[in-house]
Amino acid sequence: MNGELHQQLLITALGNGYLISGEEAVSKEMGSIDYMEVRFRNEHHTWNWSEWLRHLRQERCQRMMLNSNSTSAAWHSSAYINQTAPAGVTTLGNSGESLWSSEWKLDPFRSQTKWKVTYTEQKVLDPNMKGVREFIPIAELSEVLAEVLHRTGRLAEDIEEVFWKKNFFDPALAILEGTAAIPQLCFDLPSVYSDKTRRLLNAVYKAWVFGGMGSWNDNPPYSAHLKDRQQEYDEVSAELYKTLQQCARGAVNSVVLL
């Protein structure tokens, strides 16, 4: 999973649990740990994770929303972070709307590499800044993802890359369709989310095969070339990447209209 996307999914999901039902939003990843420090700021203050959540509640924030566009542009280069990561997390409430955009920097002064991630507030006053307002039912998103996973799995078989079908695409389908137990996400999805939403997001994580060496981007392109299926491989991979992003966003945003 792309690191920026994962972090913003985490922020949105845990934040909604906290804002909607008061559910505890504890996460080791959002603290100051060995490899990462996350902060939130506006022109007057800087907060850590728990301080920021309290600030949002004081400001009468009611929901969080992952604000991004689903794109297929970077499927071949997606890694831990990249320039096509989500635009940020939007906070919604009676006091207005804000976009919190992230900046990732490596601390050059430590013997151990550490990411410093800062989310900076920008008040949303221009309607053009609002970005995607796409609320597709979870059942519909699940159907779209299932179709793309079936198609990708068939291609994997045809180009003799059955490892990917067996270990990623078929298990993701089983999670999505309810024929396999839901594995534990690397964070606890709050109880305000439905079981179908939990299945969808877990299927996204299971089917995320993009990255660098040893990923779907590595050997399968050559295998597709040998079978004269390079164009199909490119098209299917781009569609899978775009669909996974759309489903991830749709899952964490599914409680916005509650």
Check which CATH number belongs to the domain holding 41 and give it. Answer: 3.10.450
218, two tokens: 């590595």
Structural domains of the chain, count: 2
Higher pLDDT, 132 or 54: 54
Q: Is residue 257 part of a domain?
A: no
Look at the pTM and tell me if it is higher than 0.75: yes
Residues 65 and 119 in one domain: yes
pLDDT digits (tens, 9 = 90+) for 143-202: 999 999 999 999 999 999 999 999 999 999 999 998 888 888 888 899 999 999 999 999
Residue at which a domain ends, from 107, 129, 151: 129
The per-residue pLDDT for 132 is 59
Residues 193 and 111 in one domain: no
Q: Alpha carbon of 29 to those of 14, 43, 206: distances in Å? A: 12, 25, 20
Residues 171 and 243 in one domain: yes
pLDDT band at 209 (very low <50, low <70, confident <90, very high): very high
Residues 184 and 227 in one domain: yes
Q: Is residue 46 part of a domain?
A: yes
Mean pLDDT of 216-230: 91
Q: Is residue 258 part of a domain?
A: no
Residue 229: pLDDT above 90? yes
The per-residue pLDDT for 130 is 64
Q: Is residue 211 part of a domain?
A: yes
User: Among all chains, which residue has been given the structure tokens 């024929």?
Assistant: 179
Mean pLDDT of 249-257: 93
User: Among all chains, which residue has been given the structure tokens 């970005």?
Assistant: 131
Residues 103 and 28 in one domain: yes
Residues 157 and 75 in one domain: no
Residues 66 and 142 in one domain: no
Give the range of the structural domain holding residue 197, as residue numbers without chain letter.
138-252
Residue at which a domain ends, from 77, 106, 129: 129
pLDDT digits (tens, 9 = 90+) for 42-83: 999 999 999 999 999 999 999 999 987 655 556 565 554 454
Q: Is residue 155 part of a domain?
A: yes
Residue at which a domain ends, from 75, 104, 129: 129
pLDDT digits (tens, 9 = 90+) for 3-54: 888 999 999 999 999 999 999 888 888 876 677 889 999 999 999 999 999 9
Q: Is residue 104 part of a domain?
A: yes
- Please give the Cα distance from 126 to 45 (Å, whole number): 23
Q: Is residue 231 part of a domain?
A: yes
CA-wise closest residue to 64 among 176, 194, 190:
190
CB contact set of 236 (below 8 Å; sequence gap of 6+): 148, 151, 152, 155
Q: Is residue 48 part of a domain?
A: yes
Higher pLDDT, 250 or 94: 250
Higher pLDDT, 129 or 27: 27
Residues 90 and 155 in one domain: no
Residues 111 and 178 in one domain: no
CB contact set of 250 (below 8 Å; sequence gap of 6+): 134, 135, 136, 138, 141, 200
The per-residue pLDDT for 215 is 85
